[in-house]
Structures are given as structure tokens and as C-alpha cells.
Amino acid sequence: MPELPEVEVTRRKIAPALVGRVIAVVRTTAPSYFFLTPPAVLKRQLKGRTVARLERLGKYLLATLDDGSRLLLHLGMTGQLFVQGSASLRLLSSTARASLKPEQQPAFKPDKHTHLRLSFRDGAAEVWFRDTRKFGKVKWLAPGERDARLAKLGPDALEVTGAEFHAAARRRRVPVKTLLLDQSVLAGVGNIYADEALFLTGVRPTLKASTLSGAQCDRLIANAQRVLRRSIATGGSSISDYVAPDGKDGAYQDERMVYDREGQPCKVCGAKIKRVVIGQRSAHYCPRCQR
DNA sequence: CGTTACACCTGAGGGC
DNA sequence: TGCCCTCAGGTGTAAC
């Protein structure tokens, strides 16, 4: 589900329900891979704290608490962070309300995949974190504590320059697609937007990164930022004004040029979209538009 | 160091 | 209906 646009849309949606409120109760599922910080520690550290701000770093969300500690969240492949509870409707705009998936509706009951539930002293809306595959992560950072995952992130994808990408590309023999997915080069691009950016630039995902020119890098990064911004504006790929349990009917669905369109005609030239595997991930491209 | 294969986990969908 | 396979918007780690 989540690449940069989905994480940013999530941030904007839950920030009003999180920032400025005092955490009263922390409920979790049993200790697992999901909890980089054990549930017991999480409960002890979060209770009574107030969230001062919520920011996005690449695909991570970072909540800074009033004691200077921080809560690091990652949605992995299937993570969903949402506002839940009797008063949640008051905290959401009508369009945001209409976009809720069934499991995000206020009447939804926590299930075995609902790993984290924050309730607040005011008793109003809660914030829930659900993740079926548990590739998502929750980690509490003590004041001043550094984190290796954050430390290795490159510039945010919305801010990286073509020159920075070119500098990284010159000494890499991997396919350009692999480089776009490398979070230490630029943070936030995932499988969908990498394919889309490459299509818009007319570059095959298999092209060796070191062969890209500076001008090509400039255009590639500009196109990546274009699709990321456009997706944020339309509510991300899985969260849209159209309710879709399978997460495939988001607003972005209609704008996708190549991702998950294997065998379908290219919207520009009509050629059949191809799918190849690069670095154990699928990559989609138009054999005619991308040379 | 860069590159690659694989591990983590659950569920959906296709073919038989 | 069940079984078995493949696939999935991510990323840390071990091994060459």
C-alpha cells in the first residue's frame, strides 16, 4: 500500500487526531516482528505523553513527543494507520470520511491485525495501526537516540535534485529502477512510482544506472516528483474518494500508465505493456515508448 | 564498498 | 471444495 504519497496522505489525515492530545491508553497485540520496541516498553513510554508534531521522512512517519522522545512508524506493505472511534467523524472532513475503507469506518472492531491502538485522555477518536503482514514497524526512540534506519535515508524524493541522483548513478552498475528504489539515494519512491517515472521519461527500467546522462537524471527526477505530487493531490493510490476494499481502485488507478498493466495496451502508443523482474520485484514498461 | 538472494508474514486469486 | 502455486505498494541482512 504505501509509498511516499500514501504515507503523506496518511500523515495529513491522522495529524489532527494525534497532535496536541494526551495519550491515555496504549493497546497492542502480542510481541512480534512488528514491534521493534516491545509492547510493554511502548506502553510505559507513551502513556501520559503528548504528540508535539508528526512528520514524514521518506516512507517513515516520525512523531515527536513532549518529552523529546520520538515514535517511528513504517507502514511496510500492508500497514494502515487511521482514525477510529465514536468521535472520529468530527475530526475528518466529509471527503476524508467518504474515503474510509470498511476497516476504517468508526464501527469497525479491532481484529488480530490491529496491532496498536492509541486512546487519548479526552476520550475522543483513537488512532489505530493495522497491518496484516506485519512488515510495518513501530519503534520508540529515547530523547536524542539515533536510529540506523533514519540515518541511512537519502534526501526526500520530493526534494532530491537530478544532480544528486546523477552523482549516485555514475558509480552504480545496477538497473536504474533498482537505484530509484534505493532509499539511501532518495527516500520515498517505491515500485509503482518508479515504474511510472521511468515511463514518463522514456527510459527502460533495465537500463544500467551508470549510463544515464545528467540531463536524463534531471528529467527522471522531475517526472518522479511530478507523479508523487500528483498522487498526493488525488489522495494516493489506495486511498481515494472511491471506497475500495482491495486498495486497487484509488484515484491513481486511472492515471497509471504501466504499473500492473502487463499485456494491456500502452495509453500512448498502443504497444503491449511488458513485465520483467528486476531485483526480485516486478517492473513494467512500454517496449516502444521506453528505449 | 556494491550487488544479489533471501528472509520476514498473511491473504488473494488462478489453475487443476 | 480443496490444494498448490504465484503474487503483492518494503526493507534488513548475510554472503560473494
CB neighbours of residue A28 within 10 Å: 20
| Residues, chain A | 291
Catalytic residue among A43, A97, A149, A281: A281
User: According to the model, what pLDDT value does residue A8 have?
Assistant: 97
pLDDT in tens, chain A (291 residues): 799 999 999 999 999 999 999 999 999 999 999 999 999 999 999 999 999 999 999 999 999 999 999 999 999 999 999 999 865 555 566 666 666 777 777 778 999 999 999 999 999 999 999 999 999 999 999 999 999 999 999 999 999 999 999 999 999 999 999 999 999 999 999 999 999 999 999 999 999 999 999 999 999 999 999 999 999 999 887 643 444 444 455 577 789 999 999 999 999 999 999 999 999 999 999 999 999
Give strand letter and number of the nucleotide nearest A277 (CA to C1'). C7
Q: List, as one string, the DSSP characters of A230-244.
A: HHHHTT-SS-SSS--
The CATH topology of domain A162-285 is Helicase, Ruva Protein; domain 3 (1.10.8)
Residue A195 φ then ψ, to 5°? -60, -45
A2 is catalytic: yes
User: According to the model, what pLDDT value does residue A86 have?
Assistant: 61
- What are the grid coordinates assigned to A275, written together? 513485465
Whole-number Å distance between alpha carbons of A221 and A167: 13
A247 sits within 7 Å of strand C by its CB? yes
- What are the grid coordinates assigned to A236, written together? 494516493
User: According to the model, what pLDDT value does residue A236 have?
Assistant: 83
User: According to the model, what pLDDT value does residue A243 have?
Assistant: 42
Q: Which residues of A70-97 are buried (b: 16+ CB within 10 A; e: fewer)?
A: bbbbbbbebbbbbbbbeebeebbeeebb
Which residue gives the smallest C-alpha to C1' distance to C12?
A149
User: According to the model, what pLDDT value does residue A97 have?
Assistant: 64
User: According to the model, what pLDDT value does residue A105 have?
Assistant: 75
Distance A270 CA to C13 C1' (A): 42
Distance A102 CA to B14 C1' (A): 26
- Residue type for position A214: G
**Domain A4-151 is in which class?**
alpha beta
A1 sits within 7 Å of strand C by its CB? yes
The full set of domain ranges for chain A reads 4-151, 162-285
Give strand letter and number of the nucleotide nearest A78 (CA to C1'). C9
A55 is catalytic: no
- Beta-carbon-side half-sphere exposure of residue A172 (alpha carbons within 13 Å): 19
Beta strands in A111-257 (DSSP E): 114-120, 126-131, 137-141
Distance A178 CA to B5 C1' (A): 15
Residue A274 φ then ψ, to 5°? -105, 155
Chain-centre distance for alpha carbon A270: 31
User: According to the model, what pLDDT value does residue A71 have?
Assistant: 98
User: According to the model, what pLDDT value does residue A85 have?
Assistant: 80
Helices (H) and strands (E) in chain A, counts: 9, 10
User: According to the model, what pLDDT value does residue A235 have?
Assistant: 85
Task: Please check whether residue A171 is in contact with residue A210, taking contact to mean a CB–CB distance below 8 angstroms.
Answer: yes
User: According to the model, what pLDDT value does residue A246 have?
Assistant: 42
Task: Please check whether residue A22 is in contact with residue A121, taking contact to mean a CB–CB distance below 8 angstroms.
Answer: yes
- CB neighbour list of residue A7: distance below 8 Å, 6 or more residues apart: A56, A58, A59, A60, A61, A75, A188
User: According to the model, what pLDDT value does residue A94 have?
Assistant: 61
The residue among A137, A155, A85, A80 whose CA lies nearest residue A114 is A80
